[in-house]
Amino acid sequence: MVKRPIHRIVQGGVIPEMDELAEEVVISVISGDEVIIRLLATPADLDDLARGHFACEDRGDISSISVIDYDIHVEGNVKGRPVDDLLTAACGACTTGEISAPLQMVESEARFQGDINELMIEMKANQKMFKNTGGTHAAALFDRNGQLLVLREDIGRHNTVDKVVGAALKSGHKMEIMALSGRIGWEIVAKSVRVGIPIIMAAGAISSAAESLARSSGITLVGFAASQSPAVIGDLSRIIDKPSH
């Protein structure tokens, strides 16, 4: 978060003040002397961002990470993106190269035993950057009872998934139930397939491409999870014991 001068319109008048803005900068991932990935992101939890991005995009294994300002230096067997790529905060799958859909199935016995609405309330209550700026997304991992394990925020919703996956890989948390502050698009489901997350809940809607990939890979999606009538796609038994008619 950064403070910047703005003018506030109040009752027909204008007053100057300082406001908290969500920070957005170009992050460079460097291997050796070569920039292999560039993306726009919020410069927080950058080690988690790198670790999660390589896992979620199936771009190799990192053996070490060091962060210097907005540069993330990685070592390992890693694969970069096309040199012309810049992943913007709104772009999870934009590339000058080919976009490959993951083909694996997500096999899991995970069953959510908590309350969907309470889970979403818990996530929102812990979105500190959003409270201050109103300009960040969030992704969070929960256990089967709805207890919050880890939450990450970023200007880009796909970055939040990378960050929360990276945090889980570092800490050893199970990745069974992921909640999102926004919608569920194809790229979010693709990331989840690659790391084996079986249940995704989101405050927003589910796209048609996300629905198709989720069904073919065995993932359960819950859209409009913060509402009184969530929409479920996929295996209902992961969410409720017995569907009512």
**Tens of pLDDT along 221-234?**
999 999 999 999 99
Question: Using the 8-state DSSP alphabet, how is residue 72 labeled?
Answer: E
- Those residues whose C-beta lies under 8 Å from the C-beta of residue 55, and which sit 6 or more positions away, are 165, 166, 169, 194, 195
- Those residues whose C-beta lies under 8 Å from the C-beta of residue 194, and which sit 6 or more positions away, are 55, 56, 57, 58, 102, 104
CA gap 28, 40 in Å, rounded: 9
Residues with a catalytic annotation lie at: 91
- 128 three-class SS: helix
Q: pLDDT tens, 194-240?
A: 999 999 999 999 999 999 999 999 999 999 999 999 999 999 999 98
Q: What is the pLDDT of residue 44?
A: 96
Q: What is the pLDDT of residue 81?
A: 72
The residue that leads in pLDDT, 81 or 119, is: 119
The domain locations on the chain are 116-238
CA gap 158, 200 in Å, rounded: 13
Looking at residues 16-45, what average pLDDT do you find?
A: 92
- In 3D space, the residue among 68, 59, 22 whose CA is nearest the CA of residue 165 turns out to be 59
The amino acid occupying position 52 is G
CA gap 63, 139 in Å, rounded: 25
At residue 151 the predicted structure's pLDDT band, cuts being 50, 70 and 90, is very high
At residue 48 the predicted structure's pLDDT band, cuts being 50, 70 and 90, is very high
CA gap 159, 165 in Å, rounded: 10
Neighbours of 8 (CB within 10 A): 10
CA gap 3, 26 in Å, rounded: 18
Q: Is 173 exposed, middle or buried (0-12, 13-18, 19+ CB in 10 A)?
A: middle
Q: What is the pLDDT of residue 80?
A: 82
Looking at CATH, the fold of the domain delimited by 116-238 is given as Cytidine Deaminase; domain 2 (3.40.140)
- Those residues whose C-beta lies under 8 Å from the C-beta of residue 129, and which sit 6 or more positions away, are 1, 22, 42, 44, 135, 136, 153
Global pTM value: 0.90
At residue 88 the predicted structure's pLDDT band, cuts being 50, 70 and 90, is low
- Find residue 195's DSSP bridge partners: none
The amino acid occupying position 217 is S
Looking at residues 169-188, what average pLDDT do you find?
A: 96
The mean predicted confidence, pLDDT, of the chain is 91
Tell me if 143 sits within 8 A of 149, measured CB to CB: yes
